[in-house]
Amino acid sequence: MAKRRSPARRRGTRRSRKREVSPLWLVLPVVVLLAAPRVLDVTTSAWTTLLAAVAGLAVLSAAAVVAARRMGAAYRRDALRRAQLDRLDPRRFEELAAELLRRDGFRGVRVVGGAGDRGVDVVGVAPDGRSYAIQCKYYTRAVGPGSVRDFVGALQARPYQGHRGVLVTSDRLSAQAAATAREHDMVVVDRDLLADWLLGAYHLGSRRRSSPAWLVRLRRGRAAREHPEPEPLP
């Protein structure tokens, strides 16, 4: 007859089995301890490289933005110089605005500035059919809020009701004048935007966004190289 094992012996057997440990578990901690410094070095090196690359890209991007702004400012100054803006008189300034309107495709452009103009100097109809009334301020100082309010009053007069108001100045607007213009949804073309208009980087009455001055100048240079104008015959 087979002998039965006592409960005490069975519990001892189980304990002995539990104490059996695989050699892999003894080697694994050693491997981890040996490999940890190497993994840490690799991870630290990767993060250092990534941060250095990000910092380098940030510096290059900032430098590109500064260079583009400086190029744009230089091109604006050149455009204003070629237009002889600082040598114009108020009447010639109005005619310059009219020329730019015609270049942008406006129809029926007329210079109406003078006695009884009610503050409107140039009128025209945009390609989309909307009528525009332009006031030109040839100033060597900032345009004040009083001038803007006077122009708002002119736009409410019967001849110009429904016209989109545009204030073009050879200088700039004061902060209060600019706020007043925004309140009345008035288009403001200050000295910098006028330079962009001269360059063809800005188009009045167009819904498309203005292009950077440096990009427009670059495109013009490329077009001139690809399609040079014929030399005059002797």
Q: How far apart are CA 76 and CA 96, in angstroms?
A: 16
Give residue 62's pLDDT. Answer: 72
Q: Give phi and psi for 59, each to the nearest 5.
A: -65, -45
**What would the pLDDT profile of 115-130 be if each residue is shown by its tens digit?**
656 789 999 999 999 9
Give residue 14's pLDDT. Answer: 52
Q: How many CA atoms lie within 13 A of 192 on its CB side?
A: 9
Give residue 66's pLDDT. Answer: 67
Give residue 231's pLDDT. Answer: 39
Q: Which amino acid is at 79?
A: A
Q: Is the pLDDT of residue 12 over 90?
A: no
H or E, element range at 66: helix 23-82
- The residue to which tokens 């109406």 are assigned: 112
Of residues 98 and 230, the one with the higher pLDDT is 98
Q: How far apart are CA 138 and CA 128, in angstroms?
A: 28
CATH fold for the domain made of 87-203: Trna Endonuclease; Chain: A, domain 1 (3.40.1350)
Would you list the domain boundaries of the chain? 27-82, 87-203
Give residue 65's pLDDT. Answer: 67
**What would the pLDDT profile of 135-165 be if each residue is shown by its tens digit?**
999 999 999 999 999 999 999 988 899 999 9
Q: Name 167's bridge partners.
A: 135, 188
The encoded tokens of residue 96 equal 């310059």
pTM recorded for the entire structure? 0.66
Mean pLDDT check: name the lowest of 12-21, 38-47, 179-188, 194-203: 12-21
Give residue 35's pLDDT. Answer: 65
Q: How far apart are CA 110 and CA 121, in angstroms?
A: 8
CA 22 to chain centre: 66
Give residue 27's pLDDT. Answer: 63
